[in-house]
Structure 1
């Protein structure tokens, strides 16, 4: 019995080590000047990469724990890169410094580009074949990066996060973007919500943005002048709308699912099919 328990413990520890994100063969994160990031690599050739921005209070290592989207992306040959946000006070995890009107603690676009380039150099993949994605406030960070530097990544895939109020009024250029959101999301509702202040009329309120405004912004940026969507998917786990008659090289799609504030099962399969079909 003792030998059996020891064997089971060894197997468990070995599995945990294999599933833990570090810096390639090292269990420690990759360090660069502005911060750190974590990596998980697929078996065999690297087809591309996803740079994934964690949500409020999370971490890069936590974002890459085994789950549906992580397992799917690795099985399809994608390297997964998850940077660490800035630590919050009092042990409340990590977050990102980008919200309009608030003090900027780190130049996040510079940091994300540096993570992309460092990881590509270390692990031997094409920096021009990296998808930027993120969940919740990480999805918001993804949206702002797409707006400010649309050519920095091959495509953008925010989940459950968009712009904050006051909304941007312009972006730098056309994007290739798939936005995914839960129909019943109460943490980042489709209409946004007031996080600090009395209500939406409070001039000092801290407010999430309106996802429908975000989509309108992307249509304008991508010169989708017909406004209405060109393609629809109404079967399966996601209800999707796509705009095709837009600026050359752009892509815009919106996917709704019936759940709440989560990265839904099947998301990575859908997103990578979209990306590979561009």
Structure 2
């Protein structure tokens, strides 16, 4: 009887924890950290769901990703991993993205844990994950795409990319499908980058990052092959890449996630071969 009661209590606790996680009332726990998760309202049991995994900016949390209603309405699970605060930092939670700075956590191992946990417990399609992020979350996405191109199906950094010194042209591990979005008026992470900490660290140049991605994907030319300026985003696409795909979307705003980003990015993701 005691064993049966213990089993019932364990099952009830697990069910409650999962429900709280899905409703963003409590984070889902994995050995290296935690994440928030929301499922589309019409998700059916046993269905394999595509997922948007979104990495927050400095001082944010994964709970903020739960506001991405567009993705949920389009049938995606939304997953918001939580960054960690670095010892001695005056900022809130962030990511150990810079290859030359001390690391608070192996972020690649952590995100593999998150994706595997969500796949096992919530029916996420592990082969259909879009990894995106804002500001330093976008920087984290860029470095993960460079170091582990098999982590996700595709990558979509927003207002964040590599930092100086940039990776070598041949320093990334393999081809990727990547859409970089940036604001023309961004002064926090300018297109050209800027020094921080009295010049101790430097943000990277978005156009150098695009050169790196062209090399990674073995694109034929330096300039883009197609251009689209009809909508809210000015888009440049390299169609000549022998591997992967590359696109750059520029908007008129400053440092932020622009209106229409989710629909544009999910349209791009769903059109990938």
Structure 1 length normalisation: TM-score?
A: 0.85
**Is the CA contact 1:240–1:256 (under 8 Å) kept in the aligned structure 2?**
yes
Match of 2:251 in 1: 257
Match of 2:263 in 1: 269
Match of 1:244 in 2: 239
Gaps of 5+ in 2: 1-18
Give SS of 2:240's match: coil
Match of 1:135 in 2: 134
Deviations 1:124-169 (A, max 9, x none): 1211111100000000000000000111100000000000111110
Please list, as runs of the form range in 1=range in 2, the aligned pairs for 1:35-46 lying within 5 A after superposition. 35-45=33-43
Q: Provide the C-alpha distance between the structure 2 equivalents of 1:62 and 1:226, rounded to a whole number of angstroms.
A: 39
Q: Provide the C-alpha distance between the structure 2 equivalents of 1:234 and 1:188, rounded to a whole number of angstroms.
A: 23
Match of 1:217 in 2: 212
Match of 1:227 in 2: 222
Q: Provide the C-alpha distance between the structure 1 equivalents of 2:90 and 2:196, rounded to a whole number of angstroms.
A: 20
Q: Provide the C-alpha distance between the structure 1 equivalents of 2:208 and 2:144, rounded to a whole number of angstroms.
A: 17
Match of 2:189 in 1: 188
**Is the CA contact 1:22–1:40 (under 8 Å) kept in the aligned structure 2?**
no
Give SS of 2:256's match: coil
Match of 1:55 among 54, 57, 68: 57
Please list, as runs of the form range in 1=range in 2, the aligned pairs for 1:150-189 lying within 5 A after superposition. 150-169=149-168, 170-189=171-190
Shift of 1:62: 2.5
**Is the CA contact 2:22–2:38 (under 8 Å) kept in the aligned structure 1?**
yes
**Is the CA contact 1:133–1:139 (under 8 Å) kept in the aligned structure 2?**
yes
Give SS of 1:274's match: helix
Shift of 1:252: 0.5
CA RMSD of aligned residues (A): 1.6
